[in-house]
Amino acid sequence: MYMSKLKNDEVDGLFRAILSLKDEEECYRFFEDLCTIHELQSLAQRLAVARQLDSGMTYASIAESTGASTATISRVSRCLGYGADGYKRVLERLKEEENQA
């Protein structure tokens, strides 16, 4: 079982709350209340960067298409290569969903 360095009761509660969301509308409502617009846009940008890195795009083209800094792209790249495999799992599931559509 994976043990995160972030694990504590508050984070557990946050993740249980996220897992309780039923659909995209509930996600929008919850995250709009939980995060600032900038925080949410930053999270979405990181996922877009991960998708583009996974598809083999260059840092320059990713920076141009997402507006992400090279520091952000580098951080996401490190997570893809050496992180907890969170991005990899999500990207695999998103690809599966897209292939089924």
pLDDT, tens digit (0-9, with 9 covering 90-100), for 48-95:
999 999 999 999 999 999 999 999 999 999 999 999 999 999 999 999
Eight-state DSSP code of residue 76: H
* pTM of the predicted protein model: 0.91
- The pLDDT of residue 24: 97
Are the C-beta atoms of 46 and 54 separated by less than 8 Å?
no
SS3 content of the chain, % helix, strand, coil (to 5): 75, 0, 25
Calculate what percentage of the chain has a pLDDT beyond 90. 93
Say which residue the tokens 């709009």 belong to: 32
1 pLDDT exceeds 80?
no
Report whether 53 contacts 77 (CB < 8 A): yes
User: CA–CA separation, 18 vs 7, rounded Å?
Assistant: 15
